[in-house]
């Protein structure tokens, strides 16, 4: 979690999105919208940002969760990719790739926990993508 937060901070802190045009601003806005939609969908469940599901949680498979199993991670990757593009250098690219690796590791662990908690999770996995619709 600390590595994830450090990577996000490095990638978004020095970027002035509005200075770099639509190639940075549009993906950042899309990421924020996806993140807000994911939080909105989670309001009726006891699911939380922390990977371990709470007792009594309900599996959400509607809204953005009907397309992507981890829309909050998708949102983080879009916003930080925008930050990377807005102020590109090799160090920041390496930080973004590290963030991708950390998030994929975390979502893999999270999916194991969700499979244990929800009997329908494997069926849900067959009809949705992990992070990017139609790609992954």
Residues 8-32: tens digit of each pLDDT: 888 887 666 656 666 778 888 899 9
pLDDT, position 83:
81
Per-residue pLDDT of 47-95, as tens digits, reads 566 667 767 778 888 889 999 999 999 999 999 998 888 778 899 899 9
Tell me how far apart the alpha carbons of residues 62 and 27 are, in angstroms, rounded to a whole number: 23
Residue 34 has pLDDT above 90, yes or no: yes
Q: How many Cα atoms sit within 13 Å of 109 on the Cβ side?
A: 9
Max intra-chain CA distance, the chain: 48
Tell me how far apart the alpha carbons of residues 60 and 43 are, in angstroms, rounded to a whole number: 10
Three-state DSSP at 49 gives: coil
pTM: 0.84
């Amino acid at each position: 979690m600390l590595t994830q937060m450090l990577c996000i901070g490095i990638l978004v802190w020095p970027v002035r999105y509005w200075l770099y045009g639509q190639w940075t601003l549009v993906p950042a806005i899309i990421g924020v919208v996806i993140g807000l939609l994911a939080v909105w969908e989670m309001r009726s469940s006891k699911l939380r940002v922390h990977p371990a599901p709470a007792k009594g949680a309900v599996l959400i498979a509607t809204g953005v969760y009907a397309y992507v199993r981890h829309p909050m991670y998708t949102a983080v990757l879009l916003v930080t990719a925008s930050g990377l593009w807005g102020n590109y250098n090799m160090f920041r690219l390496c930080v973004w790739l590290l963030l991708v690796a950390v998030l994929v590791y975390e979502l893999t662990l999270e999916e194991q926990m969700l499979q244990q908690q929800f009997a329908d999770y494997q069926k849900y996995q067959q009809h949705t993508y992990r992070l990017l619709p139609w790609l992954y």
